[in-house]
């Protein structure tokens, strides 16, 4: 009887390790998100942000045509690490941006995807860009 009990316990433990815990990876959050983009200067636009899975834990975030007034328009493309935390996916990475005659390196790009909602923050010197949107595909 002890032997059967031991086998049953081992089988339950093995099955418990093999089941999914609701963890998200880059493939789960890939898609296009439409929402409101706000720039610290007070401007607000409706924009699309695209997340493309590169690997299970790496994603590329793309945001095109951000208007910074006299400094011109910029496009942002950043490679971010994807970490699953309690049913959500945290994003963290950096990018390089050229505008206004200057090149800015190691610009932090951070965000979170929870359900179908993406929140994204990009910290350019003198400009804080915030995005919140929902997945459209």
- Please report the pLDDT score of residue 22 as a whole number: 62
**Model confidence pLDDT, tens digit, residues 97-115:** 887 778 889 999 999 999 9
The percent of residues above 90 in pLDDT, for the chain, comes to 56
Mean local confidence (pLDDT), 22-47: 89
E strand or H helix at 100: none
Instruction: Give the integer Cα–Cα distance in Å for 135 and 115.
Output: 9
Does residue 127 have a pLDDT over 60?
yes
Contact 112, 90 (CB under 8 A): yes
CA distances in angstroms from 51 to 38, 46, 92, listed in the order given: 19, 17, 13
Instruction: Give the integer Cα–Cα distance in Å for 137 and 129.
Output: 23
- Please report the pLDDT score of residue 102 as a whole number: 81
Specify the pTM.
0.80
Specify the higher pLDDT residue, 67 or 100: 67
């Amino acid at each position: 009887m002890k032997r059967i009990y031991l086998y049953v316990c081992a089988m339950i433990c093995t099955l418990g390790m093999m089941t999914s815990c609701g963890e998200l990876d880059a493939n789960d959050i890939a898609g296009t998100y439409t929402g409101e983009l706000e720039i610290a200067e007070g401007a607000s636009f409706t924009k699309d942000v695209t997340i493309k899975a590169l690997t299970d834990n790496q994603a590329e975030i793309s945001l095109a045509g951000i208007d910074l007034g006299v400094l011109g328009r910029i496009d942002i493309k950043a490679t971010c690490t994807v970490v699953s935390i309690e049913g959500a996916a945290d994003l963290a990475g950096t990018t390089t941006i050229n505008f206004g005659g200057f090149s800015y390196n190691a610009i932090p790009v951070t965000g979170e995807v929870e359900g179908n909602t993406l929140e994204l923050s990009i910290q350019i010197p003198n400009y804080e860009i915030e995005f919140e949107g929902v997945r459209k595909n």
